Amino acid sequence: MPRPQPGAQPDNHGNRPVEFWSTAAIRSALENGDINIWKQIAAALKRDPYGRTARQVEEVLEGTRPYGISKALWEVLDRARIHLEADERAEVARHVRLLIERSGLGEQEFASRIGVSVDELSSYLDARVSPSASLMIRMRRLSDRFAKLRSRHSPNPG
C-alpha cells in the first residue's frame, strides 16, 4: 500500500462514523489501525457496499497483495455486494408477484402478455434473475390495465 502523506493520519476517527473519513484516513487506518478500527470499516462496507467508503477502500487496496487485512476487506466487500444483489433480486421478485396478483391473471397468461416464457417468469419469481427495467414497466402497465378492467366489472356495493 502507498504510504499516507504526512498529516494524513486518521486522527479524525474519534466519534466520526467511518463514512465521513477521508481516503487518507482510511489508508492510514488500514496500514496502522487495529482490529477494532478494521471492524468499523468492515461494518461500513456491509452497510453500503457501493457507497463512498467502499470506493475509498477499493482505491486504497487497488494493487495491494491479497493477504492480511487487504484480503479480508476484499472478501467482506465481495460478500456484501453478493448479499445486497440477492436481497435486491428478492425485492424485485416480491414486486413482480404483487403485479401478477393485482392483474388477476394466472402466471402463464401474464408471462404470455409480457412476452416471456413461463420459465423466464418463474426465474424472476424465484429471484434467480431480475427482469430488465423496460420489462418491469411492461409488467406494471399490464397489471394496471387488468386491475382497472377488474374494478370496472366488479359489482358495486350498495
pLDDT in tens, 19-31: 999 999 999 999 9
Average predicted confidence (pLDDT) for the chain: 90
pLDDT at 78 over 50: yes
Condensed to tens digits (0 to 9), the pLDDT of residues 44-73 reads: 999 999 999 999 999 999 988 778 899 999
pLDDT recorded at residue 14: 63
DSSP assignment of 2-41 = PPPPTT---TT-TTS-GGG--HHHHHHHHHH--HHHHHHH
pLDDT at 119 over 60: yes
CATH class given for the domain over 86-153: mainly alpha
Percent over 70 (pLDDT), the chain: 89
- Ramachandran assignment for 63, one of left (phi > 0), alpha (psi -120 to 50 degrees), beta (any other): left
> What does the block give as the cell for 96?
413482480
CA distance 98 to 59: 40
The conformation of residue 157, written as its DSSP 8-state character, comes to: P
Structural contact between residues 135 and 114, judged by C-beta atoms closer than 8 angstroms: yes
CA distance 39 to 26: 12
Give 4's pLDDT tier (boundaries 50, 70, 90).
very low
pLDDT at 6 over 60: no
pTM comes to 0.78
More confident residue, 8 or 23: 23
> What does the block give as the cell for 87?
436481497
